[in-house]
Amino acid sequence: MSTDVSTEEALLRSVEELGNASDFLDSPSVARKLGIGHAALVDGLLKSLNAKLAIRLEPVTHNRWEISAEGITYADTTSPEVAFYNTVKEIVDAGQLCMPDQIEKKLAKQVLARGKQQALRRKWIAIDKGTKAFLLNDDAQVVDDVADALRTLRDQDGAPDGLPSDMLKTLKSRKLASLKPFKTFKIFEGERLADARKEQATELTKDMLESGQWKSVAFKPYNFNAEGKPTSGGYLHTLLKVREQFRLIFLEMGFEEMPTNNYVESSFWNFDALFQPQQHPARDEHDTFFLSDPEYANVPDRDYLEKVRRVHEEGGFGSRGYRYDWSEEEARKNILRTHTTAVSSRMLYLLAQEKEFKPKKYFSIDRVFRNETLDATHLAEFHQIEGLVADRNLSLGHLKGIIHEFFKKMGMSKLRFKPTHNPYTTPSLEIHSYHEGLKKWVEVGNSGVFRPEMIRPMGIPEDVTVIAWGLSLERPTMIRYGVRNIRDLFGHKVDLKAIQTNPICRLTF
Ligand code: PHE
């Protein structure tokens, strides 16, 4: 609400005219004098002048009569009983019998009902027993005392002065007005009234200091209760917040992050190196996005390539292989990587090229692509979290232990494992966690021990085992932030406001 300058001027002038420090103005009378509503005066003028210390306010709580919406319509026109009486009188004066159906046509439903009831009660009219017509009572003293009283209350801002207590009781029982607490203010001169008449400076400038002007300038007092503007700038997407938490968990556990900055991958690293046969349905274009340009990738070193060919065609390391003609062309096809295990296979190959094997703990969190039918829980691009440990003498017990430790850091300590199949791990275990909120077991990840057919051709030493597990980033994020549809989390339908206001994420305990 804002009030114009002349209103402010008029108010400040009256405050100035107050003689003593103990003299004050009353907010209701000021409002009346200025011709504005009390609320407008308080919110539009008094509060800001008080903040500038131009005035000082002292609140006073009184009771005052507040007129109901129904009461206001009567104050604006007449009470329903008068409306009813006048209508009956019009009909009777015209020499007609005043029958109910006749009067019904002339009055609004509510006025009719209330008016009839009150006019009968006050004996202004009667009903003729025989004809049922309304008759005027000759002795009736018809005055609109109810509407008058409401108007008086209105003119006096709810003060009942001069109104008989009977009338107030009537207004109350007819729900036309009721007593309500009401806050007004005593307005005193403020300690900086004079300054308020001048323009107030909001900051101290170099010029003011140099010219000495600062001594005479009136400064606007600080409002320590003002809320600052919300800061704007970069916002972390919800997935990035959760990713950071997973990253911290891995780092805490001594894992190194793998470089994941290539969405385009060769089929070789995504599938062939992982001992996934070339006719595997996942390698179909219904599941995988293939690139048309460049269609083919370069192959890694010949020696390793031939070892991969051999393990697919003939087997080795205790395996019979798949017994088909492995195609180098198929392996060179470029695709969008379908899982971050493609990154793990590259990294394990690099690790195997080191002169001396050193145990490693690696992780990655990044985007993968699948040619999915989109629905509330599936997108064609999503994120995977993957961890792997390469060391001597690792067993399934180590895998389960490390997975327990990993999930415990997110508060998930009830885990179960279920046998499953991956082309590149054996044994393979699905990870299920008991969801305390949903009161059921939910699948939270996949894991296994990388097959010899995968890691031995790379040159990983005989006594080294590689255990690994993976999960999606979206699933825990949706659970954490209560997102039901994945499209509200990721993609063009994401609500930017939600991104800006989402709370920080703390997964760890
Ligand atoms: N790559 C698997 C997937 O896409 C996850 C996984 C990672 C499984 C590592 C076993 C070992 O679901």
CA dihedral 34, 37, 43, 49 (to 10 degrees): 10
pLDDT at 274: 97
Please indicate whether residue 345, judged by its CB atom, sits closer than 6 Å to ligand 1: no
Domains plus CATH for the chain? 5-69+161-201 (3.30.1370), 80-143 (1.10.10), 239-501 (3.30.930.10)
Q: How far is the CA of 447 from the centre of ligand 1 (A)?
A: 6
Give the predicted TM-score (pTM) of the model: 0.59
Partners of residue 386 on adjacent β-strands: 364, 470
CA dihedral 282, 284, 285, 290 (to 10 degrees): 80
Contact (Cβ atoms closer than 8 angstroms) between residue 143 and residue 167: no
Residue 435 burial (CB < 10 Å; 0-12/13-18/19+)?
middle
3-class DSSP assignment, residue 211: helix
Q: How far is the CA of 423 from the centre of ligand 1 (A)?
A: 10
Q: How far is the CA of 451 from the centre of ligand 1 (A)?
A: 13
Q: How far is the CA of 341 from the centre of ligand 1 (A)?
A: 6
Q: How far is the CA of 173 from the centre of ligand 1 (A)?
A: 76
| The ligand 1 atom nearest the CA atom of 386 | 7
**Beta-carbon count within 10 A of 460 CB:** 20
- Please tell me the distance from the alpha carbon of residue 121 to that of residue 431, in angstroms, as a whole number: 81
pLDDT at 4: 59
- Please tell me the distance from the alpha carbon of residue 396 to that of residue 447, in angstroms, as a whole number: 10
| The ligand 1 atom nearest the CA atom of 388 | 9
- Please tell me the distance from the alpha carbon of residue 20 to that of residue 481, in angstroms, as a whole number: 61
Q: What are phi and psi of 350, to 5 degrees?
A: -60, -40
Nearest to 368 by CA among 360, 376, 358, 378: 378
pLDDT at 1: 39
| 58 contacts: CB under 8 Å, gap ≥ 6 | 24, 185, 186, 188
Q: How far is the CA of 388 from the centre of ligand 1 (A)?
A: 10
The residue nearest atom 9 of ligand 1, judged by CA position, is 469
The residue nearest atom 2 of ligand 1, judged by CA position, is 470
The residue nearest atom 5 of ligand 1, judged by CA position, is 470
Cis peptide before 230 (omega within 30 of 0): no
Strand pairing report for 25-26 and 464-472: unpaired
Q: What is the mean pLDDT for each group of 10 consecutive residues in the chain (509 residues)? A: 65 85 91 90 92 92 92 96 95 92 90 94 94 92 95 91 95 95 93 76 91 85 80 88 94 97 97 96 92 94 96 95 97 97 98 96 97 88 97 95 92 92 96 85 94 97 97 88 88 88 78
